[in-house]
Amino acid sequence: MAKPERRWRRWFRRFGIVALFIAAAMAGTAGGVLFGFVGDLPQISQLDDYSPGTITRVVGRNGALVGEFATERRQLVTYDQIPQVLRNAIIASEDAHFFTNPGIDIRAILALGVRRVLGMQRRGGASTITQQLARKLFLTDEVSLDRKIREWMLALQIEKRYT
């Protein structure tokens, strides 16, 4: 009769091989899914020439403002023109780990998943500021896993290209 120690070693060895095959299958499947999504992603190089719609101001001969026309009332400002307290407030409310995450916040995503499974949270999400940028500029607001995966991939690309 085999010693109990040998049985445990054999069991762990077999379990390890099975676990390795399962992990390889999961990694291959995930890689295939990601590879399938990469071809359909928009080019983030469009951000190099991004020009949001601003207000069109019509001025008369004497310099007086005649009227303003816009679909969205935006005024472009530089980063330095935004008060530090406002920058801090946006970061704190939207993405506390903005300066340390790679475009997606895995901890927040996992925590949200647990809260949703336990029924503790129905609405809201774990999107970073970069994910929100990717969604608003390149994707739609549709709620689907397909859109979310695209959003994650775009966010990673944006963070990699733009510091």
Q: Where are the chain's structural domains?
A: 1-39, 40-161
Calculate mean pLDDT across residues 130-144.
Answer: 88
What pLDDT, in 10s, does the model give residues 48-85?
A: 777 777 677 788 889 888 887 776 777 788 989 999 99
Lowest mean pLDDT among 16-20, 49-53, 96-100, 108-112: 49-53
Residue 74 is predicted with a pLDDT of 73
pLDDT of amino acid 2: 54
Query: pTM surpassing 0.75?
Result: no
- Residue 3 confidence class, pLDDT cut points 50, 70, 90: low
Q: What percent of the chain is modeled with pLDDT above 90?
A: 15
| 40-161 belongs to CATH 1.10.579.10 | no
Give exposure, 58-89, as e/b (b: 16+ Cβ within 10 Å). Answer: eeeeeeeeeeeeeeeeeeeeeeeeeeeeeeee
What is the pLDDT averaged over residues 23-36? Answer: 80
Q: Which residues contact 135 (CB under 8 A, 6 or more apart)?
A: 127, 141, 147, 151
Over 70: is that where the pLDDT of 37 sits?
no
